[in-house]
Amino acid sequence: MLSNTTVYGLRAMIHLANSDQDQYISISKMSEELKISFHFLTKILQKLTQNNLLVSYRGPKGGVRLSKKPEDISIYEIVIILETRPMFTECILGIPGCEDDAPCPLHEEWRPLRLQIERQFRATSLAHLAEKLEIFGKRLA
């Protein structure tokens, strides 16, 4: 469903939303806590930084932090940046040009499901997920 890259990015973002917003969090520390390869996580967070979801800072005491409040970041934004395929628009049979007025046989069944997934992703904020992490002790690794 989601690529590894996206999954790692989501976990890292949830972790950041659950950390102190006023300081930069070191990528190496995060990679240890989330059990994600440091170099790989660096690559992923770079992409999120380039797309203005994160602010980075180099040097001692450096790291990354969220560019806006966790309430204002949806997991939809993260997925769109990290996922290479257009998962919220593509045809489930992979047929080029499949649209509402030129649909594949599965189009009518798939479209509402796809839309519902998109709505849920848009409606789910990092703050919401971080809160669950706090209250219910849910896991990221």
Residues of this chain that interact with DNA (CB under 7 A) are 3-5, 8, 26-28, 37, 39-40, 42-43, 45-46, 49-50, 56-64, 84
How many residues are given for the chain?
A: 141
Burial of residue 87 (CB within 10 Å: 0-12, 13-18, 19+) is: middle
3-class SS letters over 69-115: CHHHCEHHHHHHHHCCCCCCCCCCCCCCCCECCECCCCHHHHHHHHH
Q: Does 87 bind its own copies (CB under 8 A)?
A: yes
Whole-number Å distance between alpha carbons of 80 and 28? 25
Minimum CB–partner distance for residue 50 and DNA (Å) = 6
**Which region, judged by CB under 8 A, interacts with its own copies, from 24-32, 44-52, 53-61, 115-123?**
115-123
The residues that touch its own copies, with contacts defined as CB under 8 A, are 1-2, 4, 7, 10-11, 14, 75, 87, 90, 92-95, 98, 102-109, 113, 116-117, 120, 124, 129-130, 132-133, 136, 138-141
